[in-house]
Amino acid sequence: MRRFMLKYYKKLSKSIFIFIGKVGFCLVFVFSLHSGITIARQGQLKIDDRWVMKTGDNPDWAKTDFDDSAWKSIRVGESWEKTGYTEYDGYAWYRIRFVFPEKWNQSEEHGFLSLSLGFIDDVDVTYFNGEKVGSSGSMPPEFSTAYYIARKYRIPTTLIHWDKPNVIAVRVYDRRRDGGFYKGPYVIKEPEIDDILDLNFELKNSNGIYHHPDPLPVTLNVQSYSNTDYQMTFVCTLKSDRLDKDIIYATKRSSIHVNGKSNVTETLEFYPSGPGFYNIISALSNNNDETVKKSIMLGYDPENIKTELTRENDFEEFWEKRKQELAQVDPAFKMIKSDRSTDDVDVYLVEMCSYGNVRVKGWYTVPKKDGPHAAILSVPGYTSTMWPNVNRTNVATFALNPRGHGNSKDDIDPKGTEYMFLGFDPDHPEKYIYIGAYLDCIRAVDFLVSRPEIDKSRIGVEGVSQGGGLSFATAALDQRIKCCAPDIPWMGDWIGYLEAADWRHENYPVLIKMHPGLTFSDINRILSYMDTMNLADRIKCPLLMAVGLQDAVCPPRNSFATYNQVHSEKEYRIYPFSGHGVWRKHNDVKNKWMAKILNVEESGL
């Protein structure tokens, strides 16, 4: 999914799909007009070059007069891991010096300039000439990520040194995996209408989900940062979540007067015709045809969304035969002790044979204390690599890399081919890559059950995005799973997915070109066998699903298409302002839930 969904990840967050590995990172920036800063257009400075960096954390590094001449240069617009700081997590400061041209010091109409720092992973606190001008997320110990939020801050003109050096300091904490300033833009500019007015949605229900017969309320808060008065027209539109058709259900209007630096709130109510997810487009316009827009996805009775199953007539027979074929393959389990072991856990590289005699691998982490232990199967996001989870000390973890992922490429290596294009054969759906990947997960459960230190009655499965879909599928196909925790799950309701995302329009032509004679119907039929919606009614264990309400990569309607087919004990958590990355916020909730189900100490999970 990485390539054909890249634009969504860049819009909402960075590429995720991965659980393992960060601790924290901190940045400070100082910009220099004489060191690569350019005037991109009238009233705008580009600040995307000549940054310097030092790892560590010292508040003195935010000071304007600090000497950063010994610091190393670093590129922005990509994670620092890609610039040479491999696997580094923690704190750092970046500095760049810059000079504002005196000609900008001409108007105090608004009293500030606009600073854009793009997207930062995970948390930042931003200073200008030693004064805090903004922050996003929360630093430890009350950590909360904000990697999916575009940073736009206001620099008061009273803080600016005209025609003299200025310093912008941005303190960033990165907890896991990629970190830093991973996507721009990086500019300082004179304010425009969307800098002057902040639009924010306020939710009556904290999760953004509403239920019949109550209305679906849309409350918009308008905050002005200018001394200027504005008479604005507020237009709010209730639209379908479909991307393939522009379906408008209702439009409402009102007038809003913004008096100088004031805060105004306006509420409009809609009554949707039925269950679903609705895109709310809010726009404020003034008499100068300047418009500020903001949108939000809200849900209405999502538990009652009815989605027609797409099972082929041989669906049940198909999967029973595949499981029988897997059972006939000798797993030939092999464990190799790893030097990644710690004082609390032993780590092993596991090798095994799966469906079609394909070799797959994973990392098995087991507590050094006496068992028997509960176990969690962790499965990866799209084309990502799983690594040992050494932080879980009260439960064993098998971090599986299914075929074509991570270190499981001995027999199947995409080698530049889109992973999910592999094995499309209209006459042989059993050859499709995801059929094998699902069965790899079952083989991983076989491994856990084979281990004497594992309590076979306490095995759970978890995953994010693709891993969420793999989790659904594993719990559906293997009754040995006792709890299932899919986060922002993919691979459910393919027909609905083609309506709510651009995947079909971008990739069906590619597939057809790769396989002459392949039709849309052929593609949909193959996908139907691995559609988690078609498998979900087999799930018998407790289930906890997490959804990002603003997720354009795995739209919430597709997650609920699968969820609503589950008949076992189940619950969900909605993160209303999150896109494709709720696992960072949801991880503690999920771990507490799994600890209770698996009867283990939460502190070690």
| Active site (catalytic) residues | 465, 551, 580
Report CA Rg, the chain. Answer: 26
Q: Closest Cα to residue 219, out of 290, 267, 186, 278?
A: 267
Residue matched to tokens 């999916």: 148
3 state SS of 108:
coil
Q: Closest Cα to residue 515, out of 575, 397, 432?
A: 432
Spatial contact of 267 and 234, defined as CB atoms under 8 Å apart:
no
- The CA distance from 575 to 399, in Å, is 26
CA distances from 461 to 467, 500, 590, 594 (A): 9, 27, 11, 9
- 3-state secondary structure string, 155-200? EEHHHCCECCEEEEEEEEECCCCCCEEEECCCEEECCCHHHHEEEE
Q: How many CB atoms lie within 10 A of CB 283?
A: 18
CA distances from 125 to 57, 75, 121, 365 (A): 13, 20, 12, 36
For residue 123, what are the β-bridge partners?
A: 173
How many residues are there in the chain?
Answer: 605
Which helix (H) or strand (E) segment holds residue 575: the answer is strand 570-575
Hey, which bits of 318-473 come out as E strands?
334-337, 345-354, 358-367, 373-379, 396-401, 454-464
